[in-house]
Chain A
Amino acid sequence: MPIKNNFVATSFQGYGFSEFKESKVGFAYAKNFGPRLTLGLKTTYHQLKIAGYGVTTGFSLDAGAYYQLTKELAFGAFAANVSKQNYTNKETSVYIPVSYNIGLSYSPNDKVLVAATINKVLKERVDVGIGIDYQIIPFFGLRGGLTVNPFKQYCGFGLKYKHFTLDMASVFDANLGYSPQMAISYAF
């Protein structure tokens, strides 16, 4: 929701099934500094529920920056859970991941976006990813991409209707098979 040069947003996320459930509620704030640079902050409230083991919660803080280099090229960077917060229950071995990410996007016209990222999740290997979004017709776009470490392929589509966006995606992992994802968003 834009308020002059400031933007606010909220998000809700759910993952898992009845025995293991992760939920997140986020609140984000971003501010434009001139026509090229945008900085943002996001706080997230995490809840983890495992059947028979109870519930634990935690807070995390993400920070990001976005810089429009040229009309076609944009550069972005963000760090997730910068303050290295964790779940309040110290016994759980599930932790809120700390990650550092940089990315570059290239958009030769208003239909095509190619993006590449380099991610480092703490205690894991550096991952490189690339993705394409191709808006075939004004309200429908196809997407595809992959990451290298581990090797995963992604494909999906996005539907736009007035202020609503519906995104569907599926991940294919050579060892784990397919896992689908869905997101709905509303922009003012």
Chain B
Amino acid sequence: MEPSNEFDELFEEMKDVERSREAKQNTWLSLKSRIEAKRKRNIFPAFIALAIVAIASFLFLTFSNPSETEQSAEPLSNEEVIRAVLEIEYNGPDRELLRLMNDWMKLQSETVTNNQEEYDQLLESKEYKDYINYYPATFGEYFSEGVLASLINANLVFKYDHHLEDAGIEMHLENVEIKQEKDHPNIYRPIIEVSLTNSEGQKIYHTLREEFIFSTSEPGKIGSYNGVKDGGGLELQQKIKYFNTYVVNDEDVKTPSIDVSFDTLCFNGRTPDQQGKVEFKSGCTSDTNQIQPIMTRIDNLFVKETTEQETRERGELLPEIENYQIYLTNEADKGTTLYTITLYEDGILVFAPDSNIGIVGDITTKPHVFLYEEIKLMLDEFADNE
């Protein structure tokens, strides 16, 4: 029998997938309510727009002159303030902002202004006020006086929304890890993980850092909000703009092939401090309760073969940045390494058979910074010199 039709009968049987009418109807009802909720968010009737202006104006005035009620309310912690700003900045595009901006642009293009007086009159329009009030209504409570205006002028808030709209991409804040500077408690440099999704559901991820400096004169308010040099903000813009080139080709993606039999996991960790002094940690365990959670976290990651460039870059990074190397071996013969997994501080993992310095092998297709921190804690639990 030809291979092309030998299995036709069995394939035919596999087509028979049962689905109850009730389940189908329930799925439709859930879908319908989600669609309706989205429509309501998108359609802003005039009275809602008016209400927004009223609320925005109220908030603006309120934050300029804090009331007694507000003064007595529980203030947000610095971490909560950072999280709130990131939620707004990294979930988008904000359709309401885009709608208000388009209305204002449309009015400007449709109205001829011959002199400054006429333009000043335009600045009194509802469209302009709605647009400009949206910023303090959204971000006002988190920034100290005067800071938000300078951020708006420098396009440092709502900085990705136009790019997202142009590219037809949705951004979602996946994870935030907020780190406070040890020596400067007012400075925080959060690590932010976002996902980008196109209309066909293809998704990519990106990790970046930003910097928040809290005001000393107005505690709990942000006095400065910056991207960190080389923090990944520009790369995020590139990923939004050229989304398709960053979509991982499923063909090239696989999970690590850790095809060895082992009963012991050992590690060496290299952790430089801020003065450049390096601390080394190491340890071994044969306890499956300690090994299993670590392996479960790392052996389902998506990896591809390292390129020459990546190998070169990793070779330079290895003695520079914090890293942990995990060695799989056997209790009876710890001298023989069967498999090596190298975890870099930037969240990249390299998988290689045998004893390997950690630059050649299969490399993760995206950074896993949170996973790195998680595994580091697990390893530190059985470090000999902890």
Q: Do A and B share a complex?
A: no
The chain B residues found within 8 Å of chain A, CB to CB, are: none
